Amino acid sequence: MIAKRKVFRYESPLGPLMERLVREKRACGYKYDTPACVLKDLDHFLCGTSIQPNELPKSLVAQWLAQYPHEQASTHQRRIILVRQLARLMIRLGFSAYEPPKGIGPRRSYVFSPRILTHAEVRQIILAVDSFPPSPKSPLRHIILPEVFRLLYGCGFRLSEVLNLKIRDVDLQQGVITVRQGKFGKDRLVPPSMEMVERLRIYAEELEKRTMARRDPDAYFFPSARQAAWGCTTIYHLYRKALLQCGIPHGGRGKGPRVHDLRHTFAVHRLLQWYEEGADLNAKLPFLVAYLGHKDFTGTQKYLHLTAELFPNLTARMNQQFGGVIPQGW
């Protein structure tokens, strides 16, 4: 069953072209959900102008791109790319449109600096989450949260992947979790540890006892009180509460430790475990790439360099043992 995408109604004179752009991108295999939402913002802006059909003048593009002076560089670049795509479609169809040149706008920062937690810190966080009591707004959170956080660290899932799991996605007989429409629009199979599978079996049985009925396969595996998916912001605030309870300092929003750093921590800890076990890292890396849902080795190689930065005394031994597994000049 494919999740329904939100359909926006574009009402400006360029609305039909925006709809065509969305259709073309999705026909090429792109999810194009966030861009479709940003297009709605552009559409709303254009509705308040005197723009004519089938034209996109430079003056209006400049006005729209300057609307949010304090937005992040990545968000601003996303809007530039979007209007560039729309302009290229219009030019291809023979219409007049201004295409923003490459190189304009603030530069995006690609600094990769996650906070890798120690094994002791992970244990502290899990114990803190285990101690959360039920609340009037979340009467089942003491049952749900321990499993959510164990999956984040134990399998390296992205938070949205865990929160959007449906019952049909969690095969407790075969011990396999199916992530549908992940970050790059692809499904993937993730086998948790047997200990984790057993915990999930107990969790599923407990929820059925409490609802006194067999749950629908399309229901969320981790339901909120409204039987919807948990919100990422809610999990983030509970994570901050756990960090405070553990005495682990937090640098502020966006600085970490972030919930997403549990995924990074999983990858680094897995590499270290393989090294300590004497496994061939060159042979193991493809498994980590597939497990994490990366498109290629590029994303996974970052963890090799991060491991080298955190444990410089291991780098020479790792390269000597595994033939330069950490590329130079990263």
Q: Which residue has the tokens 């530069």?
A: 107
Catalytic site residue from 201, 260, 284, 305: 260
Catalytic site residue from 141, 258, 270, 294: 294
**294 is an active site residue:** yes
DSSP string, 23-44: HHHHHTT---HHHHHHHHHHHH
Counts of helices then strands in the chain (DSSP H, E): 13, 5
Catalytic site residue from 25, 183, 188, 284: 183
**158 is an active site residue:** yes
CA dihedral defined by 73, 8, 232, 181, rounded to 10 degrees? -100
**303 is an active site residue:** yes
Catalytic site residue from 158, 258, 264, 269: 158
Catalytic site residue from 166, 258, 263, 270: 263
Identity of the amino acid at 72: Q
DSSP H helices in 112-172: 119-130, 141-155, 159-163
Residues 266 and 110: their CA atoms lie apart, in Å, by: 21
**183 is an active site residue:** yes
In degrees and rounded to multiples of 5, residue 232 shows phi and psi of -60, -35
Question: Alpha carbon 75 to chain centroid distance?
Answer: 16
**123 is an active site residue:** no
Query: Strand, helix or coil at 89?
Result: helix
Structure tokens at 55: 């034209």
Angle, CA of 267, 299 and 125, to the nearest 5°: 30
Residues 211 and 230: their CA atoms lie apart, in Å, by: 18
Query: Strand, helix or coil at 298?
Result: helix
Please confirm whether the linkage preceding 312 is cis (ω < 30° from 0). no
**44 is an active site residue:** no
Active-site annotation, residues: 158, 183, 260, 263, 294, 303
